[in-house]
Amino acid sequence: MTPPTLRLFDTESRTLRDFAPLVPGEVSVYLCGATVQGEPHIGHVRSGVAFDVLRRWLTAQGYDVRFIRNVTDIDDKILNKAAEAGRPWWEWAATYERSFERAYDKLGVLPPSASPRATGHITQMVEMIERLIARGHAYPAGGDVYFDVRSFADYGALSGHKLDDVHQGEGAGHYKRDPRDFTLWKAAKPGEPSWPTPWGPGRPGWHLECSAMASAYLGPQFDIHCGGLDLVFPHHENEIAQSRAAGDGFAQYWLHNGWVTLGGEKMSKSLGNTLSIPAVLKRVRPQELRYYLGSAHYRSMLEYSENALQEAAAAYRRIEAFFERVQRRAGDVAEGSWTDAFAAALADDLGVPAALAEIHHTISAANTALESGDGERARALAGDVRAMLGILGVDPLDEHWREIGQTEDESARYALDVLVRAELERRQQARASRDWAAADEIRDRLAAVGIDITDTPAGPEWSLKTDR
């Protein structure tokens, strides 16, 4: 079957646009990756999951997809945190780059075509700065180099910011001609890493690196640029300005995913409300976390709660039980093909909620066939379910989920978590009924076997007591 034309919401035009690649049969995608300053939390990896679905859908339609996801390995936050810990900045960055890679892999996010590091592309950045200076869009001053925002007439088109309201979120800079200008190159400071340039030693500004790496791997003009909604301004606005001012067409479509929120606020390290991937994977399996993160529309905000996470995990286990039932009663399930309704859902700006509704509708039809004794039809429908779940990256029968497995300790912890959470649910019900005695009895019984309970705004949390 021929899928309907993919339509994507383009942030720059603020419209749904039919997707047409620059080169027929090929798609080029750049995703702003991690600033490797610490352990990844679920807000960090949502973009990886969301745009992995885009990549899988494009690949399934026969496109040759070049997918670039960068690593920011030099940044004020990295330098500051490494210094606070008394560690070399490069070791700090490498340590948490590996943490992000482990998180992506555990969640079944396909590896990118390339994962370039900022520090590996200083030459390309210097060349871009030289082009900008030659075109009158940038100026060196005091060892720094700044982009002249007023020189670019379309500044603010992506975010909708008016020039008079622009605040770059960086220091005013001693040598800036205008406080709204942003830094392309930072002069070296004592104790910080630096690279030689025509303007003196220093290190790159954050915005410059992505423009340089995107053009290095995808060319001066490419199809899709992705990232989190928080990057629209100033990061992506500045990428557009410096790239187009340098003469590059840059991205043709801009896609932005919504935040993971907690208590209505964006999940971030500065708010102190993060949920690290290792911590969450002690409560649910990787495939269950991916199912949770990927079940909402990519542009929507995803309000985290422990109950929502556990409900998603339970829903995924029901899908696994469906396949176990079909295989037990009708035989092995080979991958089939997606339905027209599923294709229509994804063609509508990656409408995953509607796609999941079609998956559950197909599961229902397969269960009906199984109960009526039509095992062959049940297996065929289950194969279609596999194909659709595969596009979403959560096919329970995919080899990845078998390979990633769990250690014996992780399996034991997971089993314990299921039992404890059942007790916590009973305690919540008792508290809702104002049966304080029953609630206290459950808490005390758990405490007696070494389990601490902490009540949080997101629901009760448990942990094993440590020796004191």
Q: Write out pLDDT tens, residues 21-74.
A: 999 999 999 999 999 999 999 999 999 999 999 999 999 999 999 999 999 999
| Crossing angle of the two packed helices 42-60 and 89-106, in degrees rounded to 10 | 50
pLDDT surpasses 70 at 406: no
% pLDDT > 90, the chain: 80
Q: What is the mean pLDDT of residues 419-434?
A: 86
pLDDT surpasses 80 at 409: no
Q: Write out pLDDT tens, residues 118-137.
A: 999 999 999 999 999 999 99
Q: What are phi and psi of 362, to 5 degrees?
A: -70, -35
pLDDT surpasses 70 at 456: no
Kindly give, in sequence order, each residue whose CB lies less than 8 Å from that of residue 102, ignoring residues fewer than 6 positions away: 277
The confidence score (pLDDT) of residue 326 equals: 96
User: Would you say the pTM of this structure is higher than 0.75?
Assistant: yes
pLDDT surpasses 70 at 282: yes
The confidence score (pLDDT) of residue 416 equals: 77
Length reported for the chain: 468
CA distances from 186 to 18, 65, 144, 192, 452 (A): 40, 35, 5, 11, 49
Residue type, 430: A
pLDDT surpasses 80 at 411: no
The confidence score (pLDDT) of residue 2 equals: 77
Region label for 340, one of left (φ > 0), alpha (ψ between -120 and 50) or beta (otherwise): alpha
Alpha-carbon span 90 to 407, nearest angstrom: 30
CB of 277 within 8 A of CB of 40? yes
**Top-tier CATH class for 305-404:** mainly alpha
Q: What is the mean pLDDT of residues 377-398?
A: 98
Q: Which of 69-83, 176-190, 264-278 has the lowest mean pLDDT?
A: 264-278
399 pLDDT band, cuts 50/70/90, is very high
Q: What is the mean pLDDT of residues 266-286?
A: 81
pLDDT surpasses 70 at 183: yes
Q: What are phi and psi of 347, to 5 degrees?
A: -65, -25
CB of 118 within 8 A of CB of 213? yes
pLDDT surpasses 90 at 455: no
The confidence score (pLDDT) of residue 408 equals: 44
Question: What is the token pair recorded at 440?
Answer: 């206290």
The confidence score (pLDDT) of residue 407 equals: 45
Q: What are phi and psi of 35, to 5 degrees?
A: -90, 110
For the chain, give every domain's residue range.
7-257, 305-404, 408-464
% pLDDT > 70, the chain: 94
Q: What is the mean pLDDT of residues 230-254?
A: 97
CA distances from 376 to 17, 117, 336 (A): 41, 50, 13
CB of 426 within 8 A of CB of 442? yes
462 pLDDT band, cuts 50/70/90, is confident
Region label for 250, one of left (φ > 0), alpha (ψ between -120 and 50) or beta (otherwise): left
Residue type, 404: I
Higher pLDDT, 335 or 166: 335
**Cα end-to-end span (Å), the chain:** 64
Residue 286 has, within 13 A of its CA and on its CB side, a CA count of: 23
pLDDT surpasses 90 at 420: no
pLDDT surpasses 60 at 259: yes
Question: What is the token pair recorded at 214?
Answer: 């995107």
The confidence score (pLDDT) of residue 467 equals: 44
What average pLDDT does the chain have? 92
The confidence score (pLDDT) of residue 145 equals: 97
DSSP 398: S
The confidence score (pLDDT) of residue 223 equals: 98
Q: What is the mean pLDDT of residues 223-251?
A: 97
6 pLDDT band, cuts 50/70/90, is very high
Q: Write out pLDDT tens, residues 352-363.
A: 999 999 999 999
Pick the CATH number of 7-257 from 3.40.1410.10, 2.40.50.140, 3.30.565.10, 3.40.50.620: 3.40.50.620
The confidence score (pLDDT) of residue 268 equals: 74
269 pLDDT band, cuts 50/70/90, is low
Q: What is the mean pLDDT of residues 178-196?
A: 95
pLDDT surpasses 90 at 365: yes
pLDDT surpasses 60 at 271: no
Question: What is the token pair recorded at 332?
Answer: 């092995």
Strands 26-31 and 221-228: parallel
Peptide bond into 286 cis (omega under 30): no
The confidence score (pLDDT) of residue 314 equals: 94
